[in-house]
Amino acid sequence: MKKILAFLLAASMALTFFAGCSQNNEDEGGVLSSAPEKVYSLQEAFDTVKEAYGEDYIPSMDLDEAYLSDTMGVTMDNVEEFIAQGPMISAHVDTFVAIKAKEGMGDAVSEELEEYRNNLYDNSFNYPMNMPKIAASEVVTHGDYVFLLMLGKINDDMDATEEDLEKYYEEQTAIGRDALNKYFSDDTSSQ
Residue 47: exposure state from Cβ atoms within 10 A (0-12, 13-18, ≥19): middle
pLDDT the model gives residue 122: 85
Q: How confident is the model at residue 31 (pLDDT cuts 50, 70, 90)?
A: low
C-beta separation of 98 from 184 below 8 A: no
Residue 38 has pLDDT above 90, yes or no: no
Which whole-number Å values give the CA distances from 165 to 35, 96, 170, 171, in the listed order? 44, 20, 8, 10
pLDDT the model gives residue 92: 81
102-131 per-position pLDDT tens digit:
999 999 999 999 999 999 888 876 677 888
Mean pLDDT of the chain: 83
76-99 per-position pLDDT tens digit:
999 999 999 998 887 789 999 999
pLDDT the model gives residue 19: 46
AA letter at 170: E
Which whole-number Å values give the CA distances from 186 to 97, 101, 134, 175, in the listed order? 23, 20, 30, 19
